[in-house]
Every structure is written in C-alpha cells, then in structure tokens.
Structure 1
Amino acid sequence: MIPSRLTVELAFMYYNPKTDKNSITLRAIMNTIHAATTDISRFLDPFIRPLFDMHAQSRPIIDGGHLL
C-alpha cells in the first residue's frame, strides 16, 4: 500500500468555464489518477461501494437541489 516513488505524481487542478451562466464562473477539476491516495481509494472502494449502493437513490442527482 506504500506509493511507488517512480509512478506517483502530484495531483493538479485545472478549471473549466461554466458558459451556461450569465456571469462566467470556473469549475475546479482535480486530476488525481496517479496521486499517492489512489491505492488507498482502490482498497477502500469494495468496502464502501455496497453501502453507497444500498443507500443511493435509483435516479441520478441533477443538481444540488436534488441532492438535498
């Protein structure tokens, strides 16, 4: 579970503009595919995924209002 110094990269953030609004804002995107936390995420996913699937709604979340 120890990250390899040869393959680990720092996560980086970039921004995509939200052009569907009157005032253009930015949406932050994090790229963490080769980050140090990737292995622990893959390890924990089989344990957490069944809980999520059990409690998740059958329809997708459209926006923040639907989430609440």
Structure 2
Amino acid sequence: MMPNRIKCQLAHFYFNPKTHKDGIPIRPIENTINAPTTNVSNYLDEIIRPIFDKECQNTTIID
C-alpha cells in the first residue's frame, strides 16, 4: 500500500465555473490520480463498498 515514489504526484486542484447559474459559482475539482492517498482510498473502497451496496438494497428513500 506504499505509494510509488517515482509515479507519485501531488493532487491537482482546479475550479470549473457553472455558467448556467446566476452569479457563475464555481465547482472545486481535485484530481487525485497518482496521489499518495490513492492506494488507501482504493483499499477502503474494497472494504466499505460491499457494506454500502448491501445497505442500499435494504433502504427505501421517501421524498
């Protein structure tokens, strides 16, 4: 789970304007591909995803 020191990069952070809304608010975007936390994120996703999927099947949302 250690990040590869050669391929590891800092996350890129940028903003996309929402031109279809009044005042043109911005949406923050963070690109974490090859970031040091990517492997930890993937590991946690493998653990949490089955639990999340199971609970979503048993849950009904009423609007």
Name stretches of at least 5 consecutive residues in structure 2 with no aligned partner: 58-62
Larger Rg: 2
Deviation at 1:10, TM superposition (A): 0.1
The number of aligned residues is 58
Identity within the alignment, %: 50
Partner of 2:2: 2
Partner of 1:36: 36
Name stretches of at least 5 consecutive residues in structure 1 with no aligned partner: 58-65
Partner of 1:12: 12
Cα distance in 2 between the residues matched to 1:21 and 1:55: 35
Higher relative contact order (CA 8 A, sep 6+): 2
TM-score (norm 2): 0.79
1:3-62 per-position Cα deviation (integer Å, ceiling 9, x unaligned):
1110100001111001121110110000001100111112221210011112337xxxxx
Cα distance in 2 between the residues matched to 1:13 and 1:55: 32
Instruction: Please provide the CA RMSD for this pair.
Output: 1.6
